Amino acid sequence: MRCWVVLGVLWAWCGGVVAAAAVAQDEMVLIPAGEFVMGSNRRDDKGYQERYGFEKPLFVNERPEHRRYLDAFFIDRFEVTNGAFKAFTRATDYPEPMAWIQNGYNVRDDKLRTAHVSNLRWIARDYFHLDRDTSTMDKESLLEALFEIQRYRDRLPVASVSWYDADNFCRWQGKRLPTEAEWEKAARGPNGNEYPWGNEWRLEKANTGDGIDSDEVVMPPGSFPQDRSYYGVQDMGGNVSEWVADFYRPYPGSALEISARERRHRVVRGGGAGTGHYALSLFFRSPRRAHADPEMRSTDVGFRCARDAE
């Protein structure tokens, strides 16, 4: 018997341990034990805050730069996909992201196959936003088009999930969310790179969303092979930002003051695909720290998982 117990907004599995084999294990990368550079001493000497109207000073929460030691751990090479998260929801009856209901991704293939052609036409138009005249399409062509959309969506990184959703998925896979320090070490390597690939900004290396003429700016993990860290972890510069395990706190030795509301926030790492000033290089730096209420669901925030090295 399967069941979920609601603990506030945290769902807990109570029907026993689900075998890790229930979902194909994502390829993981071993990050060796050792020290690395965390944080930065960077300052806003170019006046970005005033120029772009940012509410808070930039880079303050990254200070001071310091060295940290971590034991060895594994981290997913790629961001968790919609397809993997869908397998989780269907194996456990976990609630699906609301965004899936709004865009039709939650519809099962067998439901589409058994739907009347007239229903498929409005589903394709109103939910899938198929850019074709659906009124002239027969059932076979409609199904072909809709399945093509669904299979592409399977490959995209899951987003519009809360911190709790991410945490529960990782636990179900026998993993956990990476700590903030683990995420940063996997992104920066042993030498403290500014970006996953090195210290020089290159717009073409990561999916910032810049120049993509589409409402769907995120892309399948690995689409930007040069967005690769020293250790071979992909898409830590762009595509979607990622939840990590930690509560938002100042680094040791920092003068940063945070509010009581912010102390309830969880840290978000990495750059998300966006447009305008959000494509500025500073949003894709590996030391950059963002934070959000753990119940927040955003179209450009997803996650990856980690586990201890045994």
The CATH number of the domain where 290 resides is what? 3.90.1580.10
Verify that 192 and 272 share a domain, yes or no.
Answer: yes
Q: Which residues contact 222 (CB under 8 A, 6 or more apart)?
A: 78, 234, 235
| Residue 166 within any structural domain of the chain | yes
Residues 7, 75 contacting (CB under 8 angstroms) = no
Portion of the chain with pLDDT greater than 90, in percent: 82
Verify that 168 and 287 share a domain, yes or no.
Answer: yes
Q: Residue 111: what pLDDT? A: 95
Range of the domain at 119: 98-155
pTM (predicted TM-score): 0.89
Render pLDDT for 87-134 as a digit per residue (tens, 0 to 9).
999 999 999 999 999 999 999 999 999 999 999 999 999 999 999 999
Q: Residue 155: what pLDDT? A: 97
| Residue 91 within any structural domain of the chain | no
Which comes out higher in pLDDT, residue 25 or 215? Answer: 215
CA distance 310 to 301: 29
User: For the chain, what is the domain count?
Assistant: 2
Verify that 27 and 73 share a domain, yes or no.
Answer: yes
Q: Residue 291 in 3-state DSSP?
A: strand
